[in-house]
Amino acid sequence: MTSGHHRWVVSEPDVPDDIGILYEDADIVVLDKPHLLPTMPRGMWYRHTALMRLREMYGDDAIVPAHRLDRATAGVVVFVRTPALRGAFQTLFQERRVRKVYECIAPCAPVRLQRRGAVGGVREAAESEGSTMASPRRGRSPHEPVLPPVRDIVAQARRVPSIADIPGVRLGPVGIVTPLDPPRAFPLMRRSHITKLRGVLQAFEEPGETNAVSVIGLCDDQTAVRRRDETGERVALAPLGLRAYRLEPRTGKTHQLRVHMAALGLPILGDDMYPRVLDPGRGDLDDSAAPPLQLVARELRFSDPRDGTPRVFRSRIPLAV
């Protein structure tokens, strides 16, 4: 129900309520958003969103986000308090003048899944069925990416392979991987065409002009990962067959990093949507018991549009297993 600028919601799902403020001044607030907290009202969430909590905390209905972060993703989000500066900060993100660094946990080596059908059939199936879920039959998504051969990315889980003789590795019909520091596999650049159809949960890659570019590397510190329990102890990832990755999106397509990691055969830990929807019937109401997506917007860098001051904001939320 709506009254003026206020919407009254009878019942909303519980979400994390521990929001951290990384920086604030008279014009902006920089939030360390936890996993599962929506950035702004949408669908079934209104009061339990970062925007509404900040407005309540500061008693200021003029606060707006300069950009958005997916509900499942944790990390740095910038909010603008001064109406006259909204355009300046929002333009920074729209024109991609902000350097973004994400971190995630994913397998050491690509996961091989059975290849089903052609990517070209994804759009046709989604449009003909008009489904809001990705193929609940057999629990498999029709948008499941075509995964690359293991030999093209990682030969063994415990060593970085040489792919210096492959200047541009073409992965199936829909994407290109280019090593940036041969003979090492990482960092690499993933380029593809990503499409998100209205009413369909997943974005997916299909043939077309490149509109999504990501640089994927390894985190310098592979030990800065914590246990998801009360101890919060550091965890060694290698024995678990996992690694911490550093991700830099050069474009901003929906679910871009999740799609690109899954397409490489390295689905992000805790991702229940890529490469397949794991439980299409669950919806968004019951995700409190599941491990959160291990993807954190770790760092934002930009020149402050007010005076040109270099700004660097880093999330304190740890990756966890």
Name the more confident of 290 and 278.
278
**Residue 178 pLDDT > 60, yes or no?**
yes
* pLDDT the model gives residue 14: 67
**Do 149 and 256 lie in a common domain?**
yes
Last residue of a domain, one of 67, 95, 123: 95
Is the separation of the CB atoms in 165 and 140 below 8 Å?
A: no
Name the more confident of 123 and 232.
232
- Distance in angstroms (rounded) separating the CA atoms of residues 320 and 104: 9
- Distance in angstroms (rounded) separating the CA atoms of residues 251 and 122: 23
- Distance in angstroms (rounded) separating the CA atoms of residues 133 and 183: 41
**Residue 39 pLDDT > 90, yes or no?**
yes
Report if residue 299 sits inside a domain: no
- Distance in angstroms (rounded) separating the CA atoms of residues 188 and 171: 13
Is the separation of the CB atoms in 87 and 49 below 8 Å?
A: no
**Do 134 and 255 lie in a common domain?**
yes
CA distances from 198 to 52, 67, 131 (A): 26, 20, 10
Q: Which residues contact 84 (CB under 8 A, 6 or more apart)?
A: none
* pLDDT the model gives residue 113: 53
Matching residue, tokens 């920086």: 23
Confidence of residue 289 (pLDDT cuts 50, 70, 90): low
* pLDDT the model gives residue 319: 95
Name the more confident of 300 and 155.
300
Categorise residue 241: left if φ over 0, alpha if ψ from -120 to 50, beta otherwise. left
**Do 272 and 131 lie in a common domain?**
yes
Q: Which of 94, 97, 108, 139 is nearest to 280 (CA)?
A: 139
Cα angle 247-248-250, degrees, rounded to a multiple of 5: 145
Matching residue, tokens 């860098």: 301
Burial of 314 (0-12, 13-18, 19+ CB in 10 A): middle
* pLDDT the model gives residue 283: 46
**Do 129 and 259 lie in a common domain?**
yes
Rg (CA), the chain: 20
Total domain count, the chain: 2
Token pair for 207: 């043939």
Matching residue, tokens 């339990």: 48
**Do 89 and 126 lie in a common domain?**
no
Domain range for 217: 105-290
Q: How far separated are the first and last CA of the chain, in Å rounded?
A: 40
Stretch 155-183: mean pLDDT: 53
Stretch 246-261: mean pLDDT: 96
**Residue 263 pLDDT > 80, yes or no?**
yes
**Residue 138 pLDDT > 60, yes or no?**
no
Q: For the ranges 138-147, 186-195, 213-222, which has the lowest average pLDDT?
A: 138-147
Q: Which residues contact 172 (CB under 8 A, 6 or more apart)?
A: 119, 146, 148
* pLDDT the model gives residue 233: 86
Q: What is the pLDDT of residues 271-284, one digit of tens each?
A: 998 888 876 544 44
* pLDDT the model gives residue 122: 38
* pLDDT the model gives residue 41: 86
**Do 14 and 123 lie in a common domain?**
no
**Do 126 and 33 lie in a common domain?**
no
Token pair for 80: 């603008």
**Residue 221 pLDDT > 70, yes or no?**
yes
* pLDDT the model gives residue 56: 93
Last residue of a domain, one of 95, 114, 135: 95
Stretch 209-226: mean pLDDT: 93
Q: For the ranges 10-24, 141-155, 169-183, which has the lowest average pLDDT?
A: 141-155
Stretch 126-152: mean pLDDT: 36
Q: Which of 265, 8, 304, 248 is nearest to 145 (CA)?
A: 265
Stretch 231-240: mean pLDDT: 87
CATH assignment at residue 57: 3.30.2350.10
In the chain, the percentage of residues whose pLDDT exceeds 70 is 71
**Do 85 and 118 lie in a common domain?**
no
* pLDDT the model gives residue 218: 96
* pLDDT the model gives residue 90: 97
**Do 174 and 257 lie in a common domain?**
yes
Stretch 70-76: mean pLDDT: 95
Produce one character per residue of 72-82: b if its CB has 16 or more CB atoms within 10 Å, e if not. bbbbbbbbbbb
Last residue of a domain, one of 95, 128, 143: 95
Give the three-state DSSP class for 268: coil
Q: Which of 185, 256, 241, 192 is nearest to 217 (CA)?
A: 185
Name the β-bridge partners of 303: 310
Q: What is the pLDDT of residues 43-72, one digit of tens each?
A: 766 778 999 999 999 999 999 999 999 999
Is the separation of the CB atoms in 279 and 272 below 8 Å?
A: yes
**Do 19 and 79 lie in a common domain?**
yes
**Residue 4 pLDDT > 80, yes or no?**
no
Q: Which of 245, 286, 291 is nearest to 265 (CA)?
A: 245
Tell me what the pLDDT averaged over the chain comes to.
Answer: 78
**Residue 119 pLDDT > 80, yes or no?**
no
